Amino acid sequence: MTQARGQQTVTYAAAAVVPPPPGYRAMPLGDPFEAHVGPLFEKTDADGALWYAFVLDERHANLRGVAHGGMLMTFADAVLGSAAWTATARQPCVTLSQESNFLRAVRVGDVVECAPRLVHKGSAIVCVEATLLVRGEAVMTARSLWKILGAP
Amino acid sequence: MTDATDHSLPPIPEGFRVLYSNFMTHIGPVWYRADADGCSLIVDMKPHHLNGGGTVHGGMLMSLADTLLGRTISAVLGDGKAATVSLNCDFLSAAKVGERLTGRGRITRQTRSVVFLAGELAVGERLVLATTGIWKVLGEREAS
């Protein structure tokens, strides 16, 4: 067992160099895990809505060669967190729960994008949701509840 | 390259194997064992698993939940025979660097076309994440 562990090494890859999809700019990522799986991108559309995106690459694939659900959920968590944070005037929040529905397989090279939506802001809990799109078609929906830290 | 062995934690128990898929290798190493009644995971928390607040990122925990339940199905149906349709994750407590996360997954109900599952991630006795999920059994054409 010790020997097997000794043979096991892991590469802490620097953030991959991926050009932004058209119209997008790279997001500054303060979370080490997001930097590890990123880059992630953002843009503001003509109507003022904030959009987020990432490009699925080989690192994100599962055993079937399509997107691991974990990468889609990580992207959703990251951008829903940004939406919750914006809705609370940048008060610190933590995820209480996330519900994710997987509608279509996402393939290497696909650009995954979404514009998160605030569902409700209570005094202590914020509900946000997003539909992830590839070429305009829904591939996943995510809804999460966030607790505003310190709020009763 | 960094040696994945964390000498502050006990050795990985006998019977666990490293999961080799692109995403699990990228965020791992993730250790896995098929059990008679489900599946177990072990992952030691490292600095690259964190969020900006210094605890383990929800995306990392949900990635492990997805893999935990997915491997639980693979233990019964074989690899690549089912795909995640839905996953719910409740974050019960925070995990930190240097902690060993253990996971247990089990099937709650299996039909011809879908499988319902449940599982938990914990540090020792402390629950970190509770999850339930639904997987679709893939037809011959969809399965790899």
**A1, A59, A105: residue with CB nearest B11:** A1
What is the DSSP code string of A2-54? HHHHHH-EE--PPPP--PPPTT-EEPP--SHHHHHH---EEEE-TTS-EEEEE
- pLDDT given for residue A17 in this prediction: 74
Is A95 within 8 Å of chain B by CB?
yes
Residues of chain B found within 8 Å of residue A77, distances taken between Cβ atoms: 57-59, 62
Provide the residue type at A128 as one letter. V
**A59, A71, A101: residue with CB nearest B85:** A101
Is A3 within 8 Å of chain B by CB?
no
Q: Does residue A39 have a pLDDT over 50?
A: yes
- Taking residue A25's Cβ as centre, other Cβ atoms within 10 Å add up to 10
CB atoms A74 and B57 under 8 Å: yes
- pLDDT given for residue A28 in this prediction: 85
CB atoms A5 and B5 under 8 Å: yes
Q: pLDDT above 90 covers what percent of chain B?
A: 63
CA distance B54 to B57: 9
Is A13 within 8 Å of chain B by CB?
yes
Q: pLDDT above 70 covers what percent of chain A?
A: 89
* Contacts for A53-56: CB closer than 8 Å, 24+ residues apart: A53/A20, A53/A21, A53/A24, A53/A111, A53/A112, A53/A113, A53/A114, A54/A111, A54/A112, A55/A18, A55/A21, A55/A109, A55/A110, A55/A111, A55/A112, A56/A106, A56/A107, A56/A108, A56/A109, A56/A110, A56/A111, A56/A112
Which ranges constitute the DSSP H helices of B1-142?
22-27, 58-77
Give the SS3 label for residue B122. strand
Q: What is the ipTM of this complex?
A: 0.88
Q: Tell me the shortest Cα–Cα distance from B80 to chain A, in angstroms.
A: 6
Q: Tell me the shortest Cα–Cα distance from B52 to chain A, in angstroms.
A: 4
Does residue B31 contact residue B19 with C-beta atoms inside 8 Å? yes
Does residue B95 contact residue B56 with C-beta atoms inside 8 Å? yes
CB atoms A37 and B59 under 8 Å: yes
- pLDDT given for residue B142 in this prediction: 66
Q: Average pLDDT of A84-107?
A: 92
Beta partners for residue B33, in sequence order: B40
- pLDDT given for residue A53 in this prediction: 96
Lowest mean pLDDT among A32-41, A129-138, B83-92, B127-136: A32-41
Burial class (CB in 10 A: 0-12, 13-18, 19+), B97: middle
Cβ partners under 8 Å of residue B33, min gap 6: B15, B16, B17, B39, B40
CB atoms A12 and B12 under 8 Å: no
- Taking residue B122's Cβ as centre, other Cβ atoms within 10 Å add up to 19
Q: Which two tokens stand for residue A37?
A: 């799986």
Is A107 within 8 Å of chain B by CB?
no
Q: Average pLDDT of A24-44?
A: 89
- pLDDT given for residue A14 in this prediction: 47
Q: Average pLDDT of A98-108?
A: 96
Q: Does residue A10 have a pLDDT over 90?
A: no
Lowest mean pLDDT among A96-100, A116-120, B9-13: B9-13
Q: Does residue A2 have a pLDDT over 70?
A: no
> Which of B18, B63, B135 is the best mutation test for A, with the most CBs of A within 10 A?
B63
Does residue A124 contact residue A152 with C-beta atoms inside 8 Å? yes
Strands B82-91 and B126-137: antiparallel
- pLDDT given for residue A15 in this prediction: 53
Q: What are phi and psi of B80, to 5 degrees?
A: 70, 20
Q: Angle at Cα B49 formed by Cα A122 and Cα B122, nearest 5°? A: 75
- pLDDT given for residue B108 in this prediction: 95
Size of interface A-B (CB pairs under 8 A): 161
Give the SS3 label for residue A89. coil
Is A106 within 8 Å of chain B by CB?
no
CA distance B51 to A29: 10
Please list the pLDDT of chain B residue by residue as tens digits (144 residues).
Answer: 455 555 578 888 888 999 888 888 888 899 999 988 889 999 999 999 998 888 999 999 999 999 999 999 988 888 878 899 999 999 999 999 999 999 999 999 999 999 999 999 999 999 999 999 999 998 766 655
Residues of chain A found within 8 Å of residue B23, distances taken between Cβ atoms: 59-62, 68, 70-71
Q: Average pLDDT of A20-38?
A: 89
